[in-house]
Amino acid sequence: MKPVVQNLSSQFIPESDLKAMKHFQTLKVENQKQIEAKNNSLKEVEETEAKCDRIFKQLLTEIQTIDTKRLKMLQKGFQHTQAAMKGFIQVLQVEENKQFLNSKFEAEALLYQIAKSNPRLVDSYQTTTDENIIEKDRADDQE
């Protein structure tokens, strides 16, 4: 039947127009295929974007977790460092006190030796020291 229809249609429609219609139909089909391919490509791009978004969110969460862990580790390290510094300062203070006491004892021993050898010098020193203390007390009272 097709040949008859074609023959009938060819009687009413010029052959060049039939070729153009077939070519147009072919172009239309090809265009539809291209549109479908672009739609499929667009869907693939959207799926890829969604995957990238999920991966980015996961990475962001992991980075935040790592940063939180690092911050906690840094805080612990800082606390340990602070404790170590406090301990070190206490040791230094103890050593300084020991040195002060040693020098004080050495000074007292030296004064004791001087006092044994020259009691008058110690008496005059003691009198001068007592006068200085009295003057300081008066100055403090006046303030």
Q: Which residue has the higher pLDDT, 112 or 62?
A: 62
Q: Which domain holds residue 121?
A: 2-142
C-alpha 83/C-alpha 86 separation (Å) is 5
Q: How many Cα neighbours within 13 Å face the side chain of 97? A: 6
C-alpha 114/C-alpha 106 separation (Å) is 12
Q: Are 115 and 122 in contact (CB under 8 A)?
A: yes
Is the predicted pLDDT of residue 112 greater than 90, yes or no?
A: no
Query: Highest mean pLDDT: which of 4-13, 29-38, 96-105?
Result: 29-38
Reported confidence tier of residue 121, pLDDT bands at 50, 70, 90: low
> How many residues in the chain?
143
Number of structural domains found in the chain:
1
Is the predicted pLDDT of residue 10 greater than 60, yes or no?
A: no
- Give the H/E segment covering residue 96: helix 15-117
